[in-house]
Amino acid sequence: MPRLAPGYDTLGRTKDEGEKLDIGKLRADTPGCDRVVHLNNAGAALPARPVIDAVTGHLELESLIGGYEAADRAAAELERFYDATADLIGAERDEIAYVENATRAWDMAFYSIPFRAGDRILTTTSEYPSNTIPYQQLVERRGVRVDVVPDDGDGQISLDALEAELAKGDVRLVSLNHVPTHNGLINPAAEVGRLCRAANVLYLLDACQSVGQLRVDVGEIGCDMLSATGRKFLRGPRGTGFLYVRRPILHTLEPPFLDLHAASWTESGTYEMRDDARRFENWERYIAGQIGLGVAVDQAAAIGLEAIEERVTSLAAGLREALAERPGVTVLDRGRRRSALVTFTLDGHDPAALKLSLREKGINVSVTNGGQQRYDVRAAPAAVRASVHYYNTEEELESFLAALPAP
């Protein structure tokens, strides 16, 4: 288990303090904290020193003894990734696949479903554009239909409307994002899962913005498939991600492409797929990244997802409150539960230009593109997105607020 410093039983928590996070220790182990106020964690979080060391150490080993040989030597660390990730989300190790990013993980799950003409896909108004494009591709290729479930009064997916759509029949898949990228809410993933199980409908959860900032348990949620990334709230390397597939449905899914790792070429001239989730993997992969992601997952688990969730949602709530009090600021976040993502506009200031001006002051934020949110008629054309993590401080948020120009 990676460690921060002597005297700590787990990363960032003292023996005397139990669940309390020691932010100073966590920041000391994050080199980027000395250089920037990083409020773009929903884009890519700052990695911690153990993750950096794991990745660079393996790359150095490859340079010294060769890539194949280095992979052989790192076999235990590569296998550790499956155990760590399964433990993090309440799964079994044979239900986990290492994939190069969250988009590809989602694609591998989505395109493995044997859709037929007339099948319905139910999704939400806040769906990611990277997912809506594949929906439309299958509308043209397979003759499926995509129905967008409306929001409830809080702005999240309406459970009543979803239940009514499921009752109409012909639904092959419910596809949902856990945390949208542009409006701060947390969708009621577990409640959706209960409705899907009752209707015997497949449920694919895109958790790229939730794993690492919220406690995510696939058993409690009831999803059949879950995709996630390393670079966001898990604080892992870019170019890494994973896919969870519930074992009872594995035999019903055939990945859109296979190789000699995902399947075997049999003597009879056909092929036989693996019987675990690694049928969704490629043989060639970013080995150093897989090792680094395993370290990042171990760190998140050691710190504690409950403690992380409490910290990030508290910071975000305080930031929303402070922004709402400023003249000219409109906070755009919705939902009964809200995440670490805070979105807003400032009168008289273009969000893209504001992002660049803040970057010049050493403050990182992002911009959401409402024009890509074609299902969401309430989405702003563009907005500033400030996304916090547990290593951010109240003083950093004050610096961010002070750096905002007047309307």
Asked if the model's pLDDT at residue 321 lies above 70, the reply is: yes
Q: How many separate domains does the chain show? A: 1
DSSP result, 36-63: -EE-BTTT-PPPPHHHHHHHHHHHHHHH
What's the CA dihedral at 29, 34, 37, 39 to 10 degrees?
Answer: -20
Specify the pLDDT at position 2. 32
Share of the chain above pLDDT 90, in %: 90
Helices (H) and strands (E) in the chain, counts: 13, 17
Cα 99–chain centre separation = 13
Tokens read off for 143: 């003759």
Angle between helices 75-89 and 287-303 (to 10 degrees): 40
Contact 112, 280 (CB under 8 A): yes
> CB neighbours (10 Å) of residue 112?
20
Mean pLDDT, residues 333-338? 95
| pLDDT tens digits for range 205-260 | 999 999 999 999 999 999 999 999 999 999 999 999 999 999 999 999 999 999 89
In a domain, 44, yes or no: no
| pLDDT tens digits for range 8-56 | 344 555 444 445 799 999 999 999 999 999 999 999 999 999 999 999 9
Q: State the sign of the Cα–Cα–Cα–Cα dihedral 180, 184, 188, 189.
A: positive
> CB neighbours (10 Å) of residue 232?
27
Contact 327, 369 (CB under 8 A): no
Q: Nearest 5 degrees, angle CA 135-CA 189-CA 47?
A: 85
Asked if the model's pLDDT at residue 5 lies above 80, the reply is: no
Which candidate, 107, 114, 110, 109, places its Cα nearest to that of 96? 109
| pLDDT tens digits for range 158-210 | 999 999 999 999 999 999 999 999 999 999 999 999 999 999 999 999 999 99
In a domain, 4, yes or no: no
In a domain, 381, yes or no: no
Contact 402, 370 (CB under 8 A): no
Contact 117, 143 (CB under 8 A): yes
In a domain, 187, yes or no: yes
In a domain, 337, yes or no: no
In a domain, 253, yes or no: yes
| Domain region containing 98 | 71-302
Which candidate, 347, 346, 327, places its Cα nearest to that of 386? 346
Q: In which residue are the tokens 């989602």 written?
A: 106
Cβ-based neighbours of 336, under 8 Å, separated by 6 or more: 154, 156, 185, 188
In a domain, 14, yes or no: no
Report the DSSP beta bridge partners of residue 364. Answer: 38
Tokens read off for 345: 């506009």
| pLDDT tens digits for range 364-400 | 999 998 878 889 888 889 999 999 999 999 999 999 9
In a domain, 52, yes or no: no
Q: What is the CATH number for 227? A: 3.40.640.10
pTM for the structure as a whole: 0.93
